[in-house]
Amino acid sequence: MISLIMLSLSTLLITGILYGYFEAQLKKQLQTEADYIGVAVLSEGIAYFDNIDIAERITLVAPDGTVLADTAADPSELENHIDRKEIQLALKNGSGTSVRYSDTFTQRTVYYAVKLENGNILRVSARQYTLVTILLKLVQPIAVIILFAVLASAILSARISKNIIDDEEREKRASMRSEFTSNVSHELKTPLTSISGFAEMLMQGDADRETVVDFSRSIYDESQRMISLVQDILRISELDEKMRFEREDVDLYELAEEITECLRPEADKMQVQLRLIGEHIHIDGVRKILYEIIYNLCDNAIKYNRPNGLAEVGIYEKENGILLTVRDTGIGIAKEEQERVFERFYRVDKSHSGVIGGTGLGLSIVKHGAIYHHASIHIESNKGEGTTITVCFTKA
């Protein structure tokens, strides 16, 4: 749109400037011609008009305005020219110009008149298209040029903006990577500091057996935490690098069954009833990533539950796609936190999560895994009532 407006304005302006320039040129040309013809008329008299053959109209006018000779009409039929502006000016100043428009305003005539030595006035005139006529005549080629220019600028600007977006994307990725690195370092530092502290106390060698067991257990727990953290980091990095994974036909129900069986001891420990419902539905996907998605959702549904609570996995086929839902009757997530829980290392209750043993990467892995499968995620949760997270895979 901007290109279109600018081009149209430029065209108008340039045509206007060129028109003024050509008019000045024409006047100069008429003046030169009048000077030459004047010399010829002075030496040959009216006879000069008999065999003249030039494009411009030449008129010879007596000082009283009577037309003595004219290259375009019979002088006897022409009215007295004394009131013409250029004649008046020539009589008064020796030369003069004027411009008159045709009745239709499509053309205009530029006149130049000069007073000869014998007192007669010689007038030379030329016709010219008006600016409006020129623009109208040029509408078609100008429109084609403008269209071409607008198309070219649209393509160019699309390319430029793509580059800008690419640069921004690159910067964003770089800053996300550095933020991720700093988060990873921070997350790893905490268990390492504990391990180092416990080991230092053990190193002193004066702890009784019970303390040794206690400290060793703490070291073991912290190491386990670090192992799961590193595993999660590796998983998320794989997804981040957009690695190519082998796709295969996966029975979602069967996969969920495998995961619920694996998590049953944990559910029992937490006194949570773990249930699988739905149908055997096959999708074309990456088994390893689908496993991570279901595992992390189920793991959360158990971890963030309450005694005698329920964690239920459902696999259904609906009109709008294949749905994987993980529902729990746990602690729920406040509305304002629901977007943020998918961010890396985000935990609603940091201190509580530490006890539970979360890394803050689970839902981030779920999100990236869903994106990898072109699936969408929906969360429905009420604090204190429970959470339902649905992953919707497209059927194609």
Distance in angstroms (rounded) separating the CA atoms of residues 24 and 68: 28
* Cβ proximity of 299 and 362 under 8 Å: yes
CB 243 to ligand ADP: min, Å: 21
CB 206 to ligand ADP: min, Å: 37
State the CB neighbour count (10 A cutoff) for residue 25.
10
CB 393 to ligand ADP: min, Å: 20
CB 309 to ligand ADP: min, Å: 10
Lay out the sheet containing 57-61: strands in order across: 67-70, 57-61, 121-129, 107-115, 95-101
Residue among 91 and 294 whose Cβ is closer to ligand ADP: 294
* Cβ proximity of 341 and 363 under 8 Å: yes
Residue among 96 and 358 whose Cβ is closer to ligand ADP: 358
Residue among 274 and 363 whose Cβ is closer to ligand ADP: 363
Sequence-ordered strand ranges (E) for the chain: 57-61, 67-70, 95-101, 107-115, 121-129, 248-251, 273-278, 282-285, 310-318, 321-328, 376-382, 386-393
The H or E element that residue 52 is part of is none
Residue among 324 and 348 whose Cβ is closer to ligand ADP: 348
CB 214 to ligand ADP: min, Å: 25
Residue among 56 and 292 whose Cβ is closer to ligand ADP: 292
CB 207 to ligand ADP: min, Å: 32
CB 330 to ligand ADP: min, Å: 5
For the chain, the distance separating the N- and C-terminal CA atoms, rounded to the nearest angstrom, is: 39
DSSP 236-250: HHHHHTT-----EEE
For ligand ADP, the binding residues (CB under 6 A) are 296, 300-301, 304, 328, 330-333, 341, 346-349, 353, 358-364, 387
Residue among 119 and 357 whose Cβ is closer to ligand ADP: 357
Residue among 31 and 338 whose Cβ is closer to ligand ADP: 338
Distance in angstroms (rounded) separating the CA atoms of residues 237 and 148: 46
Distance in angstroms (rounded) separating the CA atoms of residues 390 and 75: 99
CB 233 to ligand ADP: min, Å: 12
Tokens of 35: 């000077």
Residue among 330 and 369 whose Cβ is closer to ligand ADP: 330
Distance in angstroms (rounded) separating the CA atoms of residues 82 and 157: 62
Q: Check residue 331 and report its DSSP letter.
A: S
